[in-house]
Chains A and B, each alone.
Chain A
């Protein structure tokens, strides 16, 4: 399931050729246009010269550290979304990355699908998060009253299920990973056993499809989930 509608112009700043080729191959395969810089100064120069939709920066770069590059760009007023990659997986490192102006942080080793999903999340930040009445296909939720409907049928949703559904409905067609869901819906950072998230989604799914309606939440094997409009 490749639900990429956006073609984004991306800049990858990564010194390791092997890793870079894997990332380039994957992202280009998803239809993105990706430029590659191998050093910090080169990456900074490219980022200044051309408008990109997002940056992917390695934390450790020869010549100029990834975070320094990012800080420089932010200091010059570049607001381009940035995802920081690092072999340093510690939480303190993550906080440092976000403080330097990163919008997301991904520790190596990571699944390429996780990187792609997070990039898409960065590229397609929901336009209006203040909207309280969401509608995707036959699904409808009202965040003020905390109620949901599938077609004409009222859904009996627990608060967490409502949050989960809201998150998915704000990103229809987008693949979200378990880690992303846990971070954004539960608001905690670590990698819980994957089946825990699956069980929550399974419950939500059963409620959405209780009367034999067609599925709206689809599992994307090895990656996560995606909510597809049913019309």
Chain B
């Protein structure tokens, strides 16, 4: 904590203290204002009544003035009776206050008052009325009381402010410290994550407040990042591994040919074989790039209404000779009346091709492959069933991952990208692809093609 203003604790404490002080100030100001105006009104009302009473009987005015002065032992009362020329006739106010209008209303004016032993210049609250004979009667009260209220209020404020500051500052500090402690644990966990320990998770309290929910969300995000990283890492490993194999073979072959080949034919054979291996690696790189491209949904230019039935029949026709060579019976059935789907014809052909190709690869001679287009509501379902070894239930999700090869496939040639490509194509179209067991014991792959006429599927982020 080098810069104290960057510390949450200090800022919280200072903020809360400042806020409390402002609140106290406002309260005091309000109380003072209310009290003072009440007192002022009280004095003014008394003065108004008194001056009217004194003026009511001009003959007794001087007496009233003296009585008013004598009424108060604390010398807070003042009064005066002045002749028309301003001369003092009676009372303890030495001169008629200059600014006082003789209208019977109370006002605060400066005056000189004779208190017996001494004379003071002070501000007084006074009311004056002119008598019919030209004289003026003044009844007044000093302002000390109201001034005292102000002084008391200010003193109370001054005395109260310090404890308020301390208490609220302390409260802010405590609150911030508590938040800080929770943050510190979170920060420490994040620190470890940032240092590369992706297994770390943030502490989540039992209160289920905003803070806990935030921590929970961050934890779920970390789960997802960890999963993706793992996938990327395993894909990276798989790519490297699968690329290394043909490249190693190529290298060995080139070396052997350089040392041992003697005729042009031998050289040419080696080069041809090398080209085949290079094409294999290029095909794999292309497939990886294509999956990436398709997954990122950068392929809508080719979208148009696609009729599934002829497409499925063409795939069957395309694979029929290969299946026949392998003595596999490939049958195709298409249900009529399935509306066209919005899609990329080439990609859909590729997806169905990959499913059939997979089936041909894993079905032993004498087996059977059924390619079917069935109707389910408005959707078309393209399914491929074979009599191969099937896929264990635990691996049915994973076969769609890039480079994943289920156990029976581990030793067959292929780059493990075919089904990954199918999944990416399905995803681009908003279709679903599933692996299951076929009734005849092999595998069954189904591509559910939702028909949404005119709709271009949204680019939905890749899901787990």
Question: Which A residues are closer than 8 A to B by beta carbons?
Answer: 89-92, 95-96, 109, 111, 160, 186, 188-193, 195-196, 199-200, 202-203, 221-222
Bound-state Cα–Cα, A203 to B319, Å = 13
Given known contacts A89-B286, A91-B299, A222-B275, A188 and B349 CB-to-CB distance under 8 angstroms: yes
Q: Is the interface of B mostly helix, strand, loop or mixed?
A: helix
Nearest-CB residue, chain A, relative to B276: A222
Contact B298 A90 (CB under 8 A): yes
Contact B325 A186 (CB under 8 A): no
Contact B299 A160 (CB under 8 A): no
Given known contacts A95-B302, A188-B345, A190-B346, A90 and B293 CB-to-CB distance under 8 angstroms: yes
- Is B314 part of the binding interface, using a Cβ–Cβ cutoff of 8 Å? yes
Which residues of B have CB within 8 Å of A95? 301-302
Which residues of A have CB within 8 Å of B349? 188, 190
B27 to chain A minimum Cβ distance, whole angstroms, is: 70
Which residues of B have CB within 8 Å of A90? 293, 298-299
Q: How does the 8 Å CB contact mask read for B276-307 relative to A, with 1 for contact and 0 for none?
A: 10010011001001100100001111100000
Which residues of A have CB within 8 Å of B454? none
Bound-state Cα–Cα, A190 to B345, Å = 11
Pick the residue among A109, A186, A200 that contacts B314 (CB under 8 A).
A186
Bound-state Cα–Cα, A89 to B287, Å = 11
Bound-state Cα–Cα, A191 to B349, Å = 11
**Can you give 10 contacting A-B residue pairs, CB < 8 Å?**
A89-B286, A90-B293, A91-B299, A91-B346, A92-B298, A92-B302, A109-B282, A111-B279, A188-B346, A192-B318
Bound-state Cα–Cα, A83 to B126, Å = 109
- A-B residue pair count with CB separations less than 8 angstroms: 56
Given known contacts A196-B319, A199-B321, A222-B275, A190 and B350 CB-to-CB distance under 8 angstroms: yes
Which of A90, A95, A111 has the most CB atoms of chain B within a 10 A radius of its CB? Answer: A90
Contact A91 B302 (CB under 8 A): yes
- Is B386 part of the binding interface, using a Cβ–Cβ cutoff of 8 Å? no
Bound-state Cα–Cα, A222 to B283, Å = 15
Which residues of A have CB within 8 Å of B350? 188, 190
Contact B322 A199 (CB under 8 A): yes
Pick the residue among A92, A191, A221 that contacts B272 (CB under 8 A).
A221
Nearest-CB residue, chain A, relative to B348: A188
- Is B191 part of the binding interface, using a Cβ–Cβ cutoff of 8 Å? no
Pick the residue among B289, B290, B299, B321 that contacts A203 (CB under 8 A).
B321
Nearest-CB residue, chain B, relative to A161: B321
Q: How does the 8 Å CB contact mask read for B306-326 relative to A, with 1 for contact and 0 for none?
A: 000000001001110110010
Nearest-CB residue, chain B, relative to A188: B349
Contact A199 B302 (CB under 8 A): no
Q: How does the 8 Å CB contact mask read for B323-345 relative to A, with 1 for contact and 0 for none?
A: 00100000000000000000011
Nearest-CB residue, chain B, relative to A196: B322
Bound-state Cα–Cα, A205 to B289, Å = 36
